[in-house]
Structure 1
Amino acid sequence: MNTDLDVGDLTRAIENFNRYYIRLPAVQKLSFTTLSVLDTLAHSGPKRLTELARTEQISQPGLTQLVTRLERDGLVERRSDPADGRAVLVHITDSGRKIGHVRHEDRGRHLIPLIDQLTATERQAIAAALPALTRLAKLGTDAGP
């Protein structure tokens, strides 16, 4: 275990930031689960329902209902899996992708006034940490739930 990083401090910092970040006012009022599914599909590509239920940590019946609503709203679509004609892949649509972009831009607008209150040293520290945080998130994503 590397001693130059206090994992407890990192965990608390991430949890505290996430608590603030996920509760930012939204342009579109969508549930956290809905946004998470759209984000997963936007970043990871099409998924089978079973795989999506596992990564999102919700029941398959619950996910099926959510995907049905998202499909009705034009945010995702189901297509046959070319590797297995019996299976279905869930794809994000351009409308679903746009929701993610709008949400990302809106959250950025909320962060700018807070970032402006940081010292130059604090902003530089965050900038320097971004590559490591990005890699940490990728390692966690690749490892799966």
Structure 2
Amino acid sequence: MSEENHPQDHQGDVADFVEAAALLTIRYLTARDISFSAATTLSRLSRTGPARLTVLAAEEGASQPSMTQLVQRLERQGLVSRVGDPDDGRVVLVSITDAGRALLDERRRTRARRLKALLRTLSPEDGAALTEAARLGMPALRHLAEHAADTDGPVGAPPG
């Protein structure tokens, strides 16, 4: 591989692309019905199942008191519930409810609907270029997402 084509030479371009995609998603495509922290916590519970409050706080890069307040709000909204740990009766786990799953599903549909509308504004050439970039880049993006926790952890978490 020649030096001018070395992947590290293009890290700035990749970082700019990923940041632009993230900002598009967060600012324009995502519904504002719940906070970003609430959405990521619900999403984590949906993916991984019930979790201890302390584990949720650590994984989300939040303090335990902040996570406690967030879980209390989500519980009042009927989006999570507290359930006993079947392995340890002294432990309480936080679990997503059917209403929480329904909210996540609606948020996904909203993002998809808004993205489709935005994609229709592209020229055929730009649409084709973005489609090809997505096809070629998706395996690498999935790899980055799978290994993100292996680096610095969630945003706001202390380096470790």
TM-score range, shorter chain: 0.7 to 0.9
Taking structure 1 as the reference length, what is the TM-score of the superposition?
A: 0.86
1:82 pairs with one of 56, 72, 86: 86
| Structure 1 unpaired stretches of 5+ | none
1:121 pairs with one of 118, 129, 143: 129
Structure 2 CA distance, aligned partners of 1:45 and 1:57? 18
Residue aligned with 2:142, SS: helix
Aligned residues: 144
Cα 1:130/1:25, change in 2 over 3 Å: closer
Between the two proteins, what is the percent identity of the paired residues?
A: 41
Amino acid of the structure 1 residue aligned with 2:55: E
| Structure 2 unpaired stretches of 5+ | 154-160
Say whether residues 1:135 and 2:138 are aligned partners. no
Equivalent residue, structure 2, for 1:4: 7
Residue aligned with 2:27, SS: coil
1:49 pairs with one of 50, 53, 58: 53
Equivalent residue, structure 1, for 2:68: 64
Larger radius of gyration: 2
Structure 2 CA distance, aligned partners of 1:108 and 1:141? 26
Cα 1:16/1:43, change in 2 over 3 Å: same
Give the root-mean-square deviation of aligned CA atoms.
2.1
Shift of 1:28: 5.5
Equivalent residue, structure 2, for 1:19: 23
Q: Is the 8 A contact 2:31 2:111 kept in 1?
A: no
Taking structure 2 as the reference length, what is the TM-score of the superposition?
A: 0.79
Structure 2 CA distance, aligned partners of 1:77 and 1:144? 30
